[in-house]
Amino acid sequence: MDIFKVVQTIESIQHPAIATSLTNLGILQDVDIEENKVKATFVWPFANIPIKEQIISSVREPLKRLGLELEYNERVMNDEEREKFLALEKKYWRGGQAACGM
């Protein structure tokens, strides 16, 4: 397994509505690669995210193509993490109505 390729793949996965990576947004954290498994934590800005499954799948599928399985935990962002996320959302928003009500 090429660790560099795995890391590169993970860091290139973008949010579907925000033009930056999930890692940059703080949504994908604590990524650990062990043999054929990638363990990570999805950190959501709010408790009920309508595109949560779409985002998880956007990570799972590229890893699956590399022969890796995704194992994950989930939690909600703390106030500091959410502030950073909302600032990045505003900066990189692709169009339409943003969740932060811009």
pLDDT exceeds 60 at position 98: no
pLDDT exceeds 50 at position 25: yes
The two beta strands, 69-76 and 37-44, are parallel
* Residue 95: half-sphere exposure toward Cβ, Cα within 13 Å: 0
pLDDT exceeds 70 at position 84: yes
Architecture of domain 3-92: 2-Layer Sandwich (3.30)
pLDDT exceeds 60 at position 99: no
Does this model's pTM top 0.85? My answer is yes
Tokens of 35: 């043999």
- What confidence score (pLDDT) does residue 57 get? 98
What integer is the mean pLDDT of 31-56? 96
How many Cβ atoms from other residues are within 10 Å of residue 52's Cβ? 13
